[in-house]
Amino acid sequence: MSSLSIRQIRKVYTNGVEVLKGIDIEVKDGQFLILVGGSGSGKSTLLNMIAGLESVTSGEIRIGDRVVNALQPKDRDIAMVFQSYALYPSMTVRQNIAFGLGVKKVPKQEQQEIVERVAQTLQITHLLDRRPAQLSGGQRQRVAMGRAIARKPSLFLFDEPLSNLDAKLRVEMRAEIKRLHQRLKSTIVYVTHDQIEAMTMGDLIAVMKDGVVQQLGTPQDIYDNPANLFVAGFIGSPSMNFIHATLAIDGAGAPYVTLENGGRSMQLRLPFDAARLARHVGSAVILGIRPEQITDLGTAHGVNGQELDCLIDLVEPTGPDTLLTTTMNGAAVTCRAHPREAVSPGQSMALSFNLSKATLFDPASGERLV
């Protein structure tokens, strides 16, 4: 295991396109880092640079106490698990797992012991004599992970390993990888475009867009305190609601915004320091509030919320709760309600707004105001 240090990493291709624009990330020994973002965010390019598959234009990558910029992939003491599994079709599972050990000239008896131990860890002992074509997608991914684990690298790199799996298997493998990390206490860098994977698996998340780390932090901190509109909208399922409004101050000097729904309006008092928002009074703002913070009065019992009767446009049962869609200030807004409390589309329902974790954003810059 090793720490990973990424300092001011830039990648510029010969055509002048800058893909990474000064990335700084520090990963402690044994941490699980998630690189998450949409297509073209630069996350896979950064992973390939850590692996040595892409050159560095400027900056420094350090694995443990070694600067690895100029080292070949084989000399970096890493193991990579790909989306495509990359198994040798003519080899058995046993031979695939042992392949890297053979390259390192590990004695045959030791190879066998390591393969057996890894197979037990991943619960694939019964598959050791099969070939990849005889395995399911989940089994192939376990074999690919087993081949990486057998080498005992300083750093594990995962490149969207679950993208080819069906939804149920993705959930199972997500838990499997997390359990594996807890057992091995290994340092892992994991690339995904799936924010649910990011939230459930990582100790540390780097949210990327256009070659820039928009925010780096723990899953809960990023969820509760998004740095800007992009992060707030990308992390969370369903995503955060964004309600356009004008910031005002009431007679008592407290900030508020006005919400309109179905011909009714409400002044929603904001729990923010008016002094911090003074220069924004009278200006357009975006109120960010997550679906679970707008809910039925039964679920909101005991929470100091503000209530508004809302006309419900859409009802989506999910089992443990029901998602309701209403319209506020012309925007679709998603709320969470208890299934017993949900009304039918076209009916009104009293909803409670808990603003303890609400945020305000600047619509021009997208940056968080409070």
Please write the tens of the pLDDT for every residue from 16-32.
Answer: 999 999 999 999 999 99
Contacts with 112 (C-beta within 8 Å, 6 or more apart), sequence order: 98
189, 316: one domain: no
- pLDDT the model gives residue 303: 56
CATH number at residue 104: 3.40.50.300
The reply to whether 132 and 258 lie within a common domain is no
| pLDDT for the residue numbered 304 | 59
84 occurs within a structural domain? yes
In this prediction, residue 165 carries a pLDDT of 84
Tokens of 99: 């392949």
Which of 202, 233, 264 is the endpoint of a domain? Answer: 233
**Residue 50 sits in the same domain as residue 195:** yes
Count of domains observed in the chain: 2
Q: Are residues 222 and 88 in the same domain?
A: yes
Compute the distance between CA of residue 260 and CA of residue 359 in angstroms, rounded to an integer: 19
For the chain, residues with pLDDT lower than 50 are: none
Domain boundary residue, one of 181, 198, 233: 233
Q: Are 29 and 65 in contact (CB under 8 A)?
A: no
* Tens of pLDDT, residues 122-177: 889 999 999 999 999 889 988 999 999 998 899 999 999 988 888 888 898 899 89
Same domain for 249 and 214: no
- Contact criterion met (CB below 8 Å) for 61 and 68: yes
Residue 21 domain-assigned? yes
Q: Helix/strand/coil (H, E, C) string of 162-228?
A: CCCCCHHHHHHHHHHHHHHHHHHCCCEEEEECCHHHHHHHCCEEEEEECCEEEEEECHHHHHHCCCE
CATH value at residue 249: 2.40.50.100
- Rounded to whole angstroms, the Cα distance separating 292 from 208 reads 25
* Residue 58, domain member (yes or no): yes
> Are residues 329 and 185 part of one domain?
no
Whether residue 328 contacts residue 265, with contact meaning beta carbons closer than 8 Å, is answered with no
Are residues 165 and 24 part of one domain?
yes
Q: Of 213, 233, 253, at which residue does a domain stop?
A: 233
Pick from 138, 166, 144: nearest CA to 157:
144
Distances (CA, A) of 250 to 2, 4, 180, 244, 272: 55, 50, 54, 19, 13
Same domain, 216 and 247: no
pTM, to two decimals: 0.92
**Domain region containing 108:** 4-233
- The CA angle 32-33-36, to the nearest 5 degrees, is 135
The pLDDT score that the predictor gives to residue 151 is 87
Asked if 312 and 172 sit in the same domain, the reply is no
Q: Do 183 and 246 belong together in one domain?
A: no
Q: What is the pLDDT of residue 172?
A: 87
Residues 141 and 211 in one domain: yes
User: DSSP readout, 222-259?
Assistant: HHHS-SBHHHHHHSSSSPPEEEEEE-EE-TTS-EEEEE
In this structure, the answer to whether residues 204 and 129 fall within a common structural domain is: yes
